[in-house]
Amino acid sequence: MEVGTEHAPALEAATTFADLGLDAKILAALDGMGYKTPTPIQKQAIPLVLSGRDLMAQAQTGTGKTAAFALPLLQKMIPHANASASPARHPVRALVLAPTRELAIQVHESVVTYNKNLPLRSTVVFGGVDMKPQEADLKAGVEILVATPGRLLDHAGSKVVHLANVQFLVLDEADRMLDMGFLPDLKRILNLLPSKRQTLLFSATFDDNIVGLAKSFLQNPLKVEVARRNTAAETVEQVVHKVKEDDKLDALVQVIKARDISQALVFTRTKIAADKLGRRLLKRGIQAATIHGDKAQLERLAALDGFKQGKMRLLVATDIAARGLDIVELPCVVNFELPYSPEDYVHRIGRTGRAGASGLAVSLVSHEEERLLAGIERFIKRDLKPVPLPEPAPVHVAAPAVVPGNDAPMAPARSGRRRAEPVCALLMPPARPAEPAPPSGQ
């Protein structure tokens, strides 16, 4: 059989997680997370994984794909769950490979919540941080290991982890792993695994490279597909504003204020542009952090954490750094610069409108980027007609608002004109008048 040509049968009958045959302890964990019904990829993949088939699943982050593989794998490992302290009783049985540290952490966080009522152990290992704590976890024994390829090979090389008992291999965001040059590492890892195992490959795209990877990694896989690679989620409202390059910062501020956006992920094409935008936002007193591949791991985690906790309003990111980020209820994505690849546009706007929630994707398009916009429109088969920037919402102020260092009056903005109003007044949380002023000198 040619790889990936056998489509899985339509399995629409299951409408609840209980219908899918999951254990009561897993169902209780899902209940605790507020999951009511399985998503389409979960409905399709869970029965197939339970039946033991290899899988090639085309699903983007945001479709619920993590649970689509994690839930049936936990179910299959229940017979091995034990509370013994002996590391020998906890060999690695499920190995999940992810392209980025952030995705690996996120996948592991999901595994921990789904697994919370079972005595199966799990951990996550990724590069850029001290190996020692990871070594301690691995030596104690874990049934589920989530890893980025390079760091996994480091641990395997120093014999801290043994992969001879792996029964389940998941390749998450396989397309991005190939884009990032992980193929040689993947092949090395494959050599450490038993050939008799179940393998699940998840990818946003199914191009020739992915099919080639599947040929060497999977056996007789079934193909499941939930969203075409060039389909942007229907739940995302896509808005385009034509803006001069020099006016983009003002436009960003105007959009966020007028639409009263609580948080947004803002994309630039390059690390340099991300740093520059981050600095300009900070200069204007706007709470923003920057995340990209040149940042130290701890800085990236701190930025992501701060953003998730709502400590900052904007997170400026490059495509690779933002890949796979799942920030619950992210209301808005801004393309400060359009990506060169239309596929990246689809990935970017997929950060919002997740698992059925509605989202907003705003693109600020300069004259120089019009060709990129045309490419995106062809790719997603949709016209993205530019609209004027939104007018600022009327400000109702009982008494004149005084923001330290910014006491210029608010002027209504006009599209394409520079603003004179205090930007930090727009983006800082409102001052709480009831609070006494801190004593001087503090």
Question: Which of 316, 304, 312 lies closest to 265 in space, CA to CA?
Answer: 316
Of the ranges 35-43, 120-128, 148-156, 303-311, which one interacts with ligand AMP (CB under 6 A)? 35-43
Strand order in the sheet with 264-267: 236-242, 359-365, 332-335, 264-267, 314-317, 288-291
* Tally of residues, the chain: 442
| Whole-number Å distance between alpha carbons of 151 and 155 | 6
CB of 107 or CB of 178, closer to ligand AMP: 107
CB 355 within 8 A of CB 62: yes
CB of 249 or CB of 321, closer to ligand AMP: 321
Q: What phi and psi values does residue 210 have, to the nearest 5 degrees?
A: -70, -40
Using CB under 6 A as the binding rule, whether residue 326 contacts ligand AMP is answered as yes
Of the ranges 32-40, 147-155, 247-255, 360-368, which one interacts with ligand AMP (CB under 6 A)? 32-40
Using CB under 6 A as the binding rule, whether residue 38 contacts ligand AMP is answered as yes
Residue span 181-210 as binding mask against ligand AMP, x where in contact by CB under 6 A, dash where not:
------------------------------
Report, in Å, the least distance between residue 209 CB and ligand AMP: 22
Report, in Å, the least distance between residue 50 CB and ligand AMP: 16
Of these, 354, 413, 421, 425, which contacts ligand AMP (CB under 6 A)?
354
| Whole-number Å distance between alpha carbons of 20 and 117 | 18
Report, in Å, the least distance between residue 48 CB and ligand AMP: 17
Using CB under 6 A as the binding rule, whether residue 114 contacts ligand AMP is answered as no
Using CB under 6 A as the binding rule, whether residue 39 contacts ligand AMP is answered as yes
Token pair of 281 as six digits: 């936002």
Q: Site for ligand AMP (CB under 6 A): how many residues?
A: 15
Report, in Å, the least distance between residue 60 CB and ligand AMP: 7
CB 102 within 8 A of CB 298: no
Report residue 302 CA to chain centroid gap.
Answer: 16
Strand order in the sheet with 122-125: 122-125, 144-147, 94-97, 168-171, 198-203, 55-58, 222-225
Report, in Å, the least distance between residue 303 CB and ligand AMP: 19
Using CB under 6 A as the binding rule, whether residue 53 contacts ligand AMP is answered as no
Report, in Å, the least distance between residue 310 CB and ligand AMP: 16
Of these, 13, 83, 328, 434, which contacts ligand AMP (CB under 6 A)?
328
Using CB under 6 A as the binding rule, whether residue 351 contacts ligand AMP is answered as no
Q: Which helix (H) or strand (E) holds 178?
A: helix 174-179
Report, in Å, the least distance between residue 189 CB and ligand AMP: 22
**Which class for 175: exposed (0-12), middle (13-18), buried (19 or more C-beta within 10 A)?**
buried
| Whole-number Å distance between alpha carbons of 45 and 11 | 9
CB of 141 or CB of 350, closer to ligand AMP: 350
Report, in Å, the least distance between residue 371 CB and ligand AMP: 32
Of the ranges 31-39, 206-214, 315-323, 410-418, which one interacts with ligand AMP (CB under 6 A)? 31-39
Of these, 78, 129, 355, 410, which contacts ligand AMP (CB under 6 A)?
355
Question: Which of 308, 388, 386 lies closest to 351 in space, CA to CA?
Answer: 308
Report, in Å, the least distance between residue 411 CB and ligand AMP: 40
Residue span 62-81 as binding mask against ligand AMP, x where in contact by CB under 6 A, dash where not:
xxxxxx--------------
**Which class for 404: exposed (0-12), middle (13-18), buried (19 or more C-beta within 10 A)?**
exposed
Q: What phi and psi values does residue 35 have, to the nearest 5 degrees?
A: -75, 125
Token pair of 76 as six digits: 């299959």
User: Which positions touch ligand AMP (CB under 6 A)?
Assistant: 35, 38-39, 42, 61-67, 326, 328, 354-355
